[in-house]
Structure 1
Amino acid sequence: MGHNVYFAEPLYYHVAVAFERHGFTYQSGRKLMQKIERGFSPAGDYISLLDGNTPFRHPNAAHSVRLRSWAIHDGILGQPYTGVTMYKHVGKHAGISTTNEAW
């Protein structure tokens, strides 16, 4: 295709994590992703909200990217998941990971 840089706008949390694993980095939204990671950490703000009250707030969500994404879709952040844009330089892996607690 002849391009040196590719841009992406992940519309869901789990998609952003997948792009990270493929070598993308953040143009915008990295602070949000880091906030989400802190929120799902053992002392985080979202842990108490993973009460199983809805099917999307499973107590094990803190340890699963897929389940976190469902909880985010269910509104656990208190705001929409928007404003995340990413890019990748062809042939380079950015080495970014905002998910230390989940796989």
Structure 2
Amino acid sequence: MATMTFVEADGTEKQVDAPVGMSILEIAHRNSVDLEGACEGSLACATCHVIVDPAWYEKTGVISEDEEDMLDLAYGVEDTSRLGCQLIMTEELDGLKVRVTDEM
């Protein structure tokens, strides 16, 4: 089992178990992290927008054109922004750190 850290909007860090194969959105919901995911992971919104710690961003893989299009709708996008529903936990991401945005 991998672990990851969510940095919540208020700055609180929450380290959680992160099963390989689950999306960051699913992991957030399993651990009561305030990450909306209004479309339930169907890549139809940007409410699961997270900002990946720069040290981890390159390890998250290639971002799809569809994800880029949805991120265009998100508030506060940064260079390391991703959608939590599209970011799948792998063994290589053990220790991943992402920040939850405070605006949807």
Give me the TM-score of the superposition, normalised by structure 1.
0.30
Bigger Rg, structure 1 or 2 = 1
Give me the TM-score of the superposition, normalised by structure 2.
0.30
* Structure with higher RCO (Cα < 8 A, 6+ apart): 1
Larger helix proportion of the pair: 1
